[in-house]
């Protein structure tokens, strides 16, 4: 976002320097943040797309079942945990399709995952 508005960024810095206070720069940054948040919110509303990998992940769960990441990976014969997290787990979590049993300790060895209502609806084609 800042890179796209680099000229305005430097103008705001110069104005803050000239005024000997941070207000012009703070206002610029707050506006840039607001724009970024609005873009993300809009893209979340427009895009409800679920990747093939995430859809495959959702179909592994039985109703009400909680599974460890290792159990999920075994379903797909996957061994590389970082790739599994990047392509399957994190997108499903970010879209609210699955939840962690222990969100306070995301890397806990006892961590399990379960479908949400939204995930169940996605599997059912709703």
- pLDDT confidence of residue 55: 93
Taking the domains of the chain in order of start, what are their residue ranges? 3-46, 52-123
Q: Examine the pLDDT at 41 and tell me if it is beyond 80.
A: no
Query: What distance in Å separates the CA atoms of residue 76 and residue 74, rounded to the nearest whole number?
Result: 5
* Positive/negative CA dihedral, 85, 87, 90, 93: negative
- pLDDT confidence of residue 46: 40
Tell me the C-alpha to C-alpha distance, in Å, between residue 114 and each of 22, 25, 61, 103, 110.
46, 44, 7, 12, 13
Entry pTM: 0.60
Q: Examine the pLDDT at 36 and tell me if it is beyond 70.
A: yes
* pLDDT, tens digit (0-9, with 9 covering 90-100), for 92-111: 999 999 999 999 888 899 99
Correct CATH for 52-123 of 3.20.20.30, 3.40.50.300, 3.40.50.1220, 1.10.10.10: 1.10.10.10
C-alpha of 117 from chain center: 18
């Amino acid at each position: 976002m800042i890179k796209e508005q680099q000229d305005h960024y430097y103008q705001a810095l110069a104005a803050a320097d000239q005024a000997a206070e941070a207000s012009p720069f703070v206002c610029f940054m707050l506006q840039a943040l607001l724009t970024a948040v609005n873009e993300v919110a809009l893209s979340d509303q427009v895009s409800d797309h679920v990747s093939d990998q995430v859809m495959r992940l959702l179909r592994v769960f039985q109703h009400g079942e909680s599974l460890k990441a290792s159990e999920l990976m075994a379903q797909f014969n996957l061994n590389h945990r970082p790739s599994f997290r990047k392509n399957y787990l994190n997108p499903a979590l970010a879209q609210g399709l699955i939840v962690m049993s222990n969100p306070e300790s995301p890397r806990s060895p006892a961590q399990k995952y379960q479908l949400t209502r939204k995930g169940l609806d996605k599997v059912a084609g709703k």
